[in-house]
């Protein structure tokens, strides 16, 4: 068979639902559709393989190696020796052309995969899906035991801001941007013209945990609702679930906006797309957002965005063009209020929201991934020739001549 054999190593994966889980699953499907042979390695328990999305998924199903062993309570990541022994066994046995390690903050499996690749001389790529700047003291403390900055793995991140942080953490090493991808057809929706005097609908899609700061959205909603003119109403919809759900329900009642806020919980993509199509504004209050795939989905649906400045959303939204990037929580509420009451501004930003999303179409994103994989393989072969270390045959033969 032609194409690369690629291991996608990720600590959290389906059936657990989150941004990194869905992106890695989509990346695997897209790589398979492009003629490559991806396999997923994870510590998340589950059954079966990943459907490649083809009409005949049987022979094209994407294997998932679900490593056995204990998991760290609270973080649900691999713990103890068993999963790491199995990881090394899979990587040493299956002769992958390249190993792509997808990391968040707590990602022992993905970091261990990069370490194993260094020892086995397997080309590897590491992608940071989180902003790691606030964790710099932790990474420095762990570096004597896990000197990841010295490994030959190719460093990448999902946005320019995330790449800058990783560049500083790694002592100035080169860091490429490997953006998340999106199916433009799946997320583009026809939007019916809504009456200017109707209720303005604000939607947000996020995991309901402390990091995402859904409480800040509720605080802003309360401030906005209190200041709206009598002729205008607003309704806020939160899609997603997580450990803070009950606390957020109580918070909405304390703020007196329970009637203006609905919590829909976790929903399939078809439902999310339909809700985006019926909404007027997308809001995301997260400060520590490395990319913001939900923002990209909202842009494909033609929604103006209100998000926070200084994070990865800056790769997706130009302040004042497709929406606003707020400098503070007070500014966030003010930007929301401005879009809710100003119909002309809201429509103008909505009209511009879809412009340029083609940059993140899966075809372009996969091509960029393959470029980085090829460069990582060439870099590994070059280092092996210099040090007279043998590169696995599959990696060497996969290079273009």
pLDDT in tens, 332-371: 999 999 999 999 999 999 999 999 999 999 999 999 999 9
Does 88 share its domain with 43?
yes
| CA angle (154, 157, 160) in 5-degree steps | 125
Q: What is the pLDDT of residue 17?
A: 85
Q: What is the pLDDT of residue 133?
A: 75
Q: How confident is the model at residue 207 (pLDDT cuts 50, 70, 90)?
A: very high
Question: CB neighbours (10 Å) of residue 337?
Answer: 20
Assess whether pLDDT exceeds 90 at residue 400. no
Q: Please tell me the predicted confidence (pLDDT) of residue 386.
A: 61
Cα(87)–Cα(42) distance, rounded to whole angstroms?
9
CB 50 within 8 A of CB 25: yes
Share of the chain above pLDDT 70, in %: 91
Q: Do 46 and 110 reside in the same domain of the chain?
A: yes
* Burial category of 71 from C-beta neighbours within 10 Å (exposed 0-12, middle 13-18, buried 19 and up): middle
**358, 373, 389 — which closes off a domain?**
358
pLDDT, position 184: 94
Q: Write 378-385 long-range contacts (CB < 8 A, 24+).
A: 379/123, 379/152, 379/154, 380/121, 380/122, 380/123, 380/124, 380/152, 381/123, 383/152, 384/121
pLDDT digits (tens, 9 = 90+) for 209-237: 999 999 999 999 999 999 999 889 999 99
User: What pairs with residue 361 in β-bridges?
Assistant: 182
| Structure confidence at residue 60 (pLDDT) | 53
Q: What is the CATH number of the domain that holds 44?
A: 3.40.50.2000
pLDDT tens by residue, 124-149: 999 999 998 777 787 777 777 778 88
Which structure tokens are listed for 289? 């957002």
Q: Check whether residue 374 and residue 301 sit in a common domain.
A: no
| CB neighbour list of residue 210: distance below 8 Å, 6 or more residues apart | 244
pLDDT of residue 397: 44
- Comparing 99-103, 294-298, 390-394, the range with the smallest average pLDDT is 390-394
Q: What is the dihedral of CA 346, 352, 358, 359, to 10 degrees?
A: -90
Q: How many domains in the chain?
A: 2
When pLDDT is cut at 50, 70 and 90, the band that residue 264 belongs to is very high
Q: Are residues 245 and 366 in the same domain?
A: no
Confidence category of residue 7, pLDDT binned at 50, 70, 90 = very high
Residues 128 and 258 in one domain: no
Domain span holding position 264: 184-358
Q: Is 209 exposed, middle or buried (0-12, 13-18, 19+ CB in 10 A)?
A: middle
Same domain, 79 and 209: no
Q: Above 90 in pLDDT, residue 162?
A: yes
pLDDT tens column, 12-32? 999 988 889 999 999 999 999
Question: 80 and 201: one domain?
Answer: no
Are both 150 and 251 inside the same structural domain?
Answer: no
Looking at residue 51, its pLDDT comes to: 76
Q: Are residues 250 and 144 located together in one domain of the fold? A: no
Q: Are 367 and 276 found together in one domain? A: no
315 has pLDDT over 80: yes
**What is the arithmetic mean of pLDDT over 265-273?**
95
- What is the predicted pLDDT for the residue at 145? 78
DSSP string, 107-135: -HHHHHHHHHHHHHT--EEEEE-S--GGG
Shared domain check, 367 and 337: no
pLDDT for 175 beyond 60: yes
What pLDDT does 65 receive?
Answer: 96
- The pLDDT assigned to 159 comes to 97
Is residue 401 over pLDDT 70?
no
Q: Do 115 and 33 sit in the same domain of this protein?
A: yes
How far apart CA 151 and CA 253 sit, in angstroms, is 51
Which pTM was predicted? 0.89
């Amino acid at each position: 068979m032609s194409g690369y054999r690629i291991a996608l190593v990720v600590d959290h994966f389906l059936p657990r639902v989150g941004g990194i889980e869905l992106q890695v699953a989509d990346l695997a499907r897209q790589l398979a559709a492009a003629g490559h042979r991806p396999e997923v390695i994870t510590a998340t328990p589950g059954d079966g393989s990943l459907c490649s999305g083809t009409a005949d998924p049987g022979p094209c199903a994407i294997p998932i190696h679900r490593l056995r062993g204990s998991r760290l309570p609270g973080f649900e990541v691999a713990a103890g020796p068993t999963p790491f022994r199995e990881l090394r066994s899979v990587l040493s046995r299956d002769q992958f052309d390249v190993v792509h390690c997808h990391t968040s903050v707590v990602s022992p499996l993905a970091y261990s995969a990069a370490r194993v690749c260094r020892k086995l001389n397997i080309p590897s790529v590491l992608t940071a899906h989180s902003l790691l700047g606030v964790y710099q003291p932790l990474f420095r403390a762990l570096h004597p035991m896990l000197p990841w900055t010295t490994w030959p793995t190719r460093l990448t991140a999902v946005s320019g801001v995330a790449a800058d942080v990783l560049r500083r953490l790694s002592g100035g090493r080169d860091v490429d941007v490997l953006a998340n991808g999106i199916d433009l057809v799946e997320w583009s929706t026809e939007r019916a013209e809504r009456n200017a005097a109707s209720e303005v609908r604000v939607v947000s899609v996020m995991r309901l945990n402390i990091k995402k700061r859904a409480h800040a959205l509720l605080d802003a909603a309360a401030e906005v609702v209190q200041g709206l003119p009598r002729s205008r109403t607003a309704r806020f919809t939160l899609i997603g679930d997580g450990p803070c759900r009950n606390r957020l329900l109580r918070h909405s009642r304390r703020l007196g906006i329970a009637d203006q806020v609905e919590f829909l919980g976790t929903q399939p993509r078809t439902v999310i797309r339909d809700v985006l199509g019926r909404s007027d504004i997308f809001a995301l209050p997260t400060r520590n957002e490395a990319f913001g795939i939900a923002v990209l989905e909202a842009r494909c649906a033609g929604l103006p965005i209100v998000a926070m400045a200084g994070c990865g959303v800056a790769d997706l939204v130009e302040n004042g063009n497709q929406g606003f990037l707020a400098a503070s929580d007070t500014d966030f509420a003010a930007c929301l209020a401005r879009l809710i009451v100003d119909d002309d501004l809201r429509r103008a930003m909505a009209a511009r929201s879809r412009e340029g999303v083609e940059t993140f179409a899966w075809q372009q994103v996969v091509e960029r991934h393959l470029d980085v994989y090829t460069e990582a393989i060439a870099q590994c072969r070059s280092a092996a020739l210099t040090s007279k270390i043998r590169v696995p045959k599959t990696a060497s033969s996969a290079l273009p001549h």
